[in-house]
Structure 1
Amino acid sequence: MANAGFTIWFTGLSGAGKSTLSEIIEQRLRARGRNVEVLDGDVVRTHLSKGLGFSKEDRDTNIKRIAFVCGLLSRNGVVCISAAISPYREAREWARQEIGNFVEIYVKCPIDVCRQRDVKGLYKLVDEGKVKNFTGVDDPYEEPENPELVIETDKETIEESISRIFARLEELGYLESETVVGRA
């Protein structure tokens, strides 16, 4: 299974660190010789899900589209990384069933820390009343009940998070350990 395709599904609030983790994981998986594709929530909304709003139905449709692409890629040997808020448990569970080789990673970060980071300026827009139905503020975020891993980006360094992610992927059999890779 160590060379099979699979999907890493990062979920968490805006500003939690999903995109940052995805970029580093992508680089390190490529360095290990893996084919990798990242489906970042912002990029997907610009291209694959253009025209969708932020109602529950539209958010679920967005997640189903991401899951469909991840499923196609994963079954063809690609490591697919989804970095989308994906606020609803039911949609994430649907994605898990649809994809199969699925590793849910909850990028957990308190909303006050996400607000302080506010890398995209979205929380500021919410505070100014320019954005409504924002996940974690005036729209719900349903925390995962049984993710394969919880990463708390306010309590650990990026490097600690990355190490924990790789250790978990190795433990689950999706990756060979670095020591085995180095000897090959």
Structure 2
Amino acid sequence: MRRQDDAMTAQTLRALIRTIPDYPKPGIQFRDITTLIRDPAGFRLAIEMLKPAVARHGVSLIAGIEARGFIFGAALAQELGLGFVPIRKKDKLPGRTVGINYALEYGSDRIEIHADALAAGDRVAIIDDLIATGGTAVAATRLLRSTGAEVPVAAFVVDLPALGGAALLHAESVDVFSLLAFEGH
């Protein structure tokens, strides 16, 4: 019965995620989680499903990637009784920061955390709404580890396996968990 319950749960979440064709450019099927978070029961279900995957790693903090990772990460941190660390784009945090540059398809970007956000030995879970190519998630892993923190797990609502991001995180020795997989881009 448990497998059937899990399948029904995943089916419920899948139905709450809207697909917007050709956004932000032609050929992209954008997986929009705003329809999921608008639904209180669906949002609660997503957090409840993420909880055990993260909790079993004995993490001490949750780090959410800007911006949709803040939504799921903060809610999950609250549910687990943990603190939350925002991973922001360059120049968005008011205090002293540490950061890492990473490559994009065209150009580069930078993410940062407050310099005093983590301590050596902290066990941190990375949370975001979606894993696609994995560039930002891998950069976040490396950034958090540069402080001496451990990153045993990254959890996502949606995985786009054809884009290979989860495999890149696995190569960084991070356990990757996602609630749903969608084919295509």
Q: TM-score, normalised by structure 1?
A: 0.31
Q: Which structure features the higher share of helix residues?
A: 1
**Taking CA–CA contacts closer than 8 Å with sequence separation of 6 or more, which of the two structures ends up with the larger relative contact order?**
1
Q: Scaled by the length of structure 2, what TM-score is found?
A: 0.31
More strand, by proportion: 2
